[in-house]
Amino acid sequence: MVVLKTIEEIALMRESAQIVSKTLGMLAAEIKPGVTGLDLDKKAEAFIRDHGAEPGFLGLYDFPNSLCISPNDMVVHGIPNNTPFKEGDIVSIDCGALKNGFYGDHAYTFPVGEIDKDTQKLLEITKKSLYMGIAEFREGNRIGDISYAIQNFVEKENYGVVRELVGHGIGRTMHEKPEVPNYGRKGQGKRLQNGMTLAIEPMINLGTQKVKQLQDGWSIVTKDNKPSAHFEHDVAMVNGKPVLLSTFKYIYEALGIESDEEKEFMYT
C-alpha cells in the first residue's frame, strides 16, 4: 500500500531529510586519504543525535552502524571499517535519520582527492540520471517513467544499471511501497500522485550491471570489480510536481562546488 502524506507530514519529512543532508555536508569536509569509514560513522552518529534525531540505519534490519560506506567497486550497504581511504578512491555514503516519526534517506558518492576521468564521468552521469528520474515524478506519469528516464540516460554510456536494488517509498518506515527501479518502461507501473514521497536512488556501474553479495551478508559489489556510483534524494509530489526534501547544497558548500541542479525542484 502506498501511504500518501499531507503537506504537514511532508514538512516533517523534509526536516528528517535535511538532517541527513547536513550530515553528508559535514562528512564532505572530512573525506580525505587516511580517514576511515569508522571515523566517519562515529562523527555522523554524534551529529545526527546532536540534531535531535536518531540514526536511521543503526539497528535497521540489524545493520550495525549509522552509515553505509561503499568504496570503489562496492555498490551499496558497506559496513564501515578501519581501512583508510586512498587518493583516487570513490566512496558512496548512504545515511538515514529518524525524527518526529519520519525517516530521511539520502546518499552521495564522493571522490577522495583526484580520481581518474572514467570514474569522474561515472559520478557525473549517475548524479545527472538522478535528476532526470526526479523530473518524471509528476502528475500523470507512472513509476516506469522515472525508471526509464534513468536507465535510458545511463545506458547510452554503456553503464550497467543494477537490477537487484531499487529506490522506494519512504515515510514512517524506511522502505515503503512503491518500489522505484532504475530500469523500466515508460507508462508502466503505479500511477504517481500528490502526497507520494519517494527515495529515488540510481546505482550505476562503470562495467557490468551484475553484482554479488560479500560474505558479511551486507556488502554488494560489482562482479567485474569496476567502480559503482550511488546518488539518492528524498522527493515528494506537491501540486503535481516533484519537490526535493533533501539537498546536496551542504556538500557543495563544503567542497566549493557551484550548482543550480536543484533549482527546478525547490521546496517552498
Give the footprint of Mg ion on this chain (CB under 5 A). 94, 105, 107, 199, 232
Q: How far apart are CA 250 and CA 266, in angstroms?
A: 15
Shortest Å distance, C-beta 120 to Mg ion: 22
Shortest Å distance, C-beta 213 to Mg ion: 17
Q: Compare residues 9 and 232 and give the one whose CB is closer to Mg ion.
A: 232
Shortest Å distance, C-beta 9 to Mg ion: 18
Q: Which residues have C-beta within 8 Å of that of residue 168, sequence separation ≥ 6?
A: 174, 175, 176, 177, 178, 179, 180, 198, 199
98, 53 contact by CB (below 8 A) = yes
Q: Compare residues 36 and 173 and give the one whose CB is closer to Mg ion.
A: 173
Q: Compare residues 157 and 213 and give the one whose CB is closer to Mg ion.
A: 213
Q: Give the position of cell 570514474.
A: 119
For residue 184, the Cα-to-chain-centroid distance in whole angstroms is 19
Q: Give the position of cell 550548482.
A: 259
Q: How far apart are CA 103 and CA 16, in angstroms?
A: 6
Q: Compare residues 32 and 163 and give the one whose CB is closer to Mg ion.
A: 163
Shortest Å distance, C-beta 158 to Mg ion: 25
79 to 41, 54, 225: CA distances (angstroms): 10, 18, 18
Q: Compare residues 217 and 256 and give the one whose CB is closer to Mg ion.
A: 217
For residue 179, the Cα-to-chain-centroid distance in whole angstroms is 14
Shortest Å distance, C-beta 105 to Mg ion: 4
φ/ψ of residue 56, rounded to 5: -75, -25
